[in-house]
Amino acid sequence: MSDNPGPERTHPAPASTASGPGRVLVAIYAIFAVGATSRAAVQIATRFGDAPVPYLLSAFAAVVYVLATVALARGGAAWWRVAVVACAFELVGVLTVGAVSVLLPGVFPDATVWSNFGMGYLFIPLVLPGLGLLWLRRTAPGPRARTPR
């Protein structure tokens, strides 16, 4: 019997976050980044006094979408972690703002991207972070250890 366990087997490297279906995800995040940034800029520049909280939340959502777009488009473990945090934060944000806007509509005299769980955007803001987190789980970096025989 030989002491040599045979050839090493390794797991295949994870897909890049911006490859395959990740490209579509990056494109959708980029569209939302541009849309949320534009919306917030116009709202803050023209009607800030009417509803400062929703307009600042729109600006904050824009920052989250920009960060998620960049992080998903870049490679490497550090950007992967940034993407996870951005998507998770987005999910918490859309659930929180969505719930508050439904239960206490007076708090939001004007809509944000996340109001009513993203209803004004076909609920994409509600679904997008879940899809992002699923994709990030699939593309998770990490040590690719040998598989035992």
Condensed to tens digits (0 to 9), the pLDDT of residues 90-118 reads 999 999 999 999 999 988 888 888 999 99
Whether residue 123 is contained in a domain is answered as yes
Whether residue 124 is contained in a domain is answered as yes
**Total number of domains in the chain:** 1
Range(s) of the domain holding residue 86: 21-138
Condensed to tens digits (0 to 9), the pLDDT of residues 1-27 reads 555 555 554 544 556 776 788 899 999
Cα separations in angstroms, 123 against 13, 42, 60, 138: 33, 22, 18, 23
Whether residue 55 is contained in a domain is answered as yes
Whether residue 10 is contained in a domain is answered as no
